Amino acid sequence: MEELLISYIKSKISVTEEETETILSYFKPIKLKKNELLLTNGQSSQRTFFVTSGCLRIFFINEEGQDSTRYFAFENQFATALVSFITSEPSEEFIQAVEDSEVYYITHKNFYHLLDIIPQWEKFYRIYLEIAYVTNTKRLMSFLVQDALEKYRQLLDENPIIVRRLSNKMVASYLNISQETLSRLKSRL
């Protein structure tokens, strides 16, 4: 599974074998059970995760007590509560394994240490931030300008794995619609 992480890093930056070994030495593997929480509201996000199998979900709970999913990370993707990871402030988000999962994590301290010792890690971080910015901006725009059907169609076009692998409850939470609305949309398409 470490090969996935190596391959991902090398697809973004050019690093020597020695630098690769150094980077990998800071990542630790963990196995997670379905529904296991990695971060809860109020904790500071001190780790970023790379998924080698399974799926992580980043979500928050709104004033009505309903969860709203911001992001799913499947195989070969990174995930963290990024605002908290950057600021070290308490997170308003939760991170949960929605399937039995295997991930690698790196601590905040070690991630920033790599910025100091491996010049290419700066480029990796920039790419990571750019991907996060584009993803989050597209999500925000979809909430502001698209109706439920348009959001669902876009999800099917851009990220069908969410619909294939996850429950209707999770998909509805991600689209910010009710499960009933999602069922109606599915029957229309």
CATH number, residue 61? 2.60.120.10
- What are the distances in angstroms from CA 81 to CA 24, 88, 149, 183? 21, 10, 28, 30
In the chain, DSSP assigns E strands to 28-32, 37-39, 47-53, 56-61, 67-73, 77-79, 94-97, 101-107
* Cα separation, 82 vs 11, whole angstroms: 22
User: Is position 3 within any domain?
Assistant: yes
User: Is position 140 within any domain?
Assistant: no
User: Is position 170 within any domain?
Assistant: no
- Is the separation of the CB atoms in 90 and 84 below 8 Å? yes
Q: What is the pLDDT of residues 83-105, one digit of tens each?
A: 999 999 999 999 999 999 999 99
Q: What is the pLDDT of residue 2?
A: 87
Angle at 65 between CA 186 and CA 69, to 5 degrees: 45
User: Is position 44 within any domain?
Assistant: yes
User: Is position 121 within any domain?
Assistant: no
Mean pLDDT of the 27-34 span: 97
User: Is position 74 within any domain?
Assistant: yes
Domain carrying residue 94: 1-113
User: Is position 188 within any domain?
Assistant: no
Q: Is the pLDDT of residue 189 over 90?
A: no
User: How many structural domains is the chain composed of?
Assistant: 1
